[in-house]
Amino acid sequence: MSLNLPVRNFVWFAAIVFMVSGSAESSFGQAKTAEQASAKSAKAQTAKKDGDFGQFMRIRKDDRKRPVALETSITRYVGTNASGKPILVDLIGVVHVGEQGYYEALNEQFKQYDATLYELVAPEGTRIPKGGRIEEGGGNPIAALQMGMKSMLELEFQLEHIDYTVENLVHADMSPEEFFDSMSNNEESVGRMMLNSIGSSMAMQNKGKSAEMGLVMSLFSSDRTKSLRRTMAQQMEDIEGGMAIFRGKDGSTIIEHRNAKAMEVLKREIDAGKTRLSIFYGAGHLPDMQKRLLEDFQLKRAGRTWLTAWDLEIKKSSSEKGSE
C-alpha cells in the first residue's frame, strides 16, 4: 500500500532537511540521537534580504539557465579579540552527502586554521575515527536517510571522507543529554513535528505533487542520477517555508540551541588565543550563525568562496542533443 501524499511529503521533506541541517552522524553516535528527527533551517533566498552574503548554498547555472552544480559557501568574517588582535572566522557550510572531491577539498581547507569547530551530537570531546565507523543496519533512522540518499544520488557520505582525527578539529556541539534536555524544555517532540508536518502538507500539496513529478520524470531521464540530483537540489533551495513546523516555544533545538553551543566553543577557542578559526556545520545552520557572529562577536563580513558539492550537469548523447 502506497503512502498518502501528506506522509510522502513528510518523508521527502525530512530527507532534504537532514541533508543540510541534521547532525552529520552515523551509528557511531549514541543510540538516542536516532530521535533527532526535528529540524529547522533558513532557506538560501534570505540572501535577497541581507545582500548576497545571506546565501550559503546555491545552484549554479550555465548561460542557458541549466543547473550545473550544487555549491556550498565558505564565508569569512573578521574582527578583533579582547586584546585587539585581528581574528578571522570562516563559516563553512556542508551538505552531508556529496562528491568525494568535495570532501577532499574541505580537508585541505581545514589545514589553514588554528581550529575548525565541527558538529556532531555526541559526548563532549568526541573525535570521529577515520571512515566514520559506519555500521550497516545500525538502526539509526537519520543515518539510514543519509545513507539512502548517498546510494540514490551516487554520492559519498561526509563521515567516510572528512578526517576528524587531525589535531585542529574541535568538537562543538551538544551531548545527547543536552540535546534531549533542550528538546524537552523547549516542548519539542518528534510526534508533534510529524503531526504538524502532515497537517501543513495539506496546504502544500501542489508543491508536493510538483516534487513527485520531478522524481517521476527523473526516472525516465537519460542520466537518471543527475536528474535525481537536480530534483533534490531544487527542493533544498526552498525549505524555509516548512521549517516553522519544527520550532518549539523558544526557537529550535536542531538549529538555534545547537548553534548557541557552537558559539560557546568558539568564544572559548578565541579566548585561548586562536586567531584563525572556522565553523564546519550543515549549511542550514549558517544564517543563524552569521547573525550571532555579526551581533554577538561584532565581526564583519569579508568575502566568500564556493565549493561544488554535487555535479548536476547532464551529459547528452548525440541522439539527444538539442533537447533537455
pLDDT digits (tens, 9 = 90+) for 92-132: 999 989 999 999 999 999 999 999 999 999 998 788 888 87
> Please, are residues 144 and 25 in contact by the beta-carbon 8 Å criterion?
no
Q: Measured between alpha carbons, how far is residue 50 from residues 66, 72, 77, 106, 226 in Å? A: 26, 17, 15, 26, 31
Taking residues 199-224, what's their average pLDDT?
53
> Please, are residues 151 and 206 in contact by the beta-carbon 8 Å criterion?
no
Q: What integer pLDDT is reported at residue 128 of this predicted model? A: 87
Q: What integer pLDDT is reported at residue 224 of this predicted model? A: 76
Give this prediction's pTM: 0.78
Give which of 258, 229, 235 is closest to 246, Cα–Cα.
258
pLDDT digits (tens, 9 = 90+) for 127-140: 888 887 644 444 45
- Neighbouring CB atoms inside 10 A of 229's CB total 26
Residue ranges per structural domain of the chain: 5-314
pLDDT digits (tens, 9 = 90+) for 38-82: 333 333 343 344 456 778 999 999 999 999 999 999 999 999 999
**198 secondary structure, DSSP code:** H
Question: CA-based diameter of the chain, in Å?
Answer: 66
- Neighbouring CB atoms inside 10 A of 169's CB total 21
Q: Tell me how far apart the alpha carbons of residues 41 and 20 are, in angstroms, rounded to a whole number.
A: 8
> Please, are residues 5 and 209 in contact by the beta-carbon 8 Å criterion?
yes
**313 secondary structure, DSSP code:** P
Question: Residue 270, class by beta-carbon neighbours within 10 Å (0-12 exposed, 13-18 middle, 19+ buried)?
Answer: buried
Most confident segment among 15-29, 204-218, 239-253, 302-316: 302-316
Q: What integer pLDDT is reported at residue 82 of this predicted model? A: 94
pLDDT digits (tens, 9 = 90+) for 278-316: 999 999 899 999 999 999 999 999 999 999 999 999 876
Any residues with CB less than 8 A from the CB of 153 and at least 6 apart, and which? 97, 225, 228, 229, 232, 310
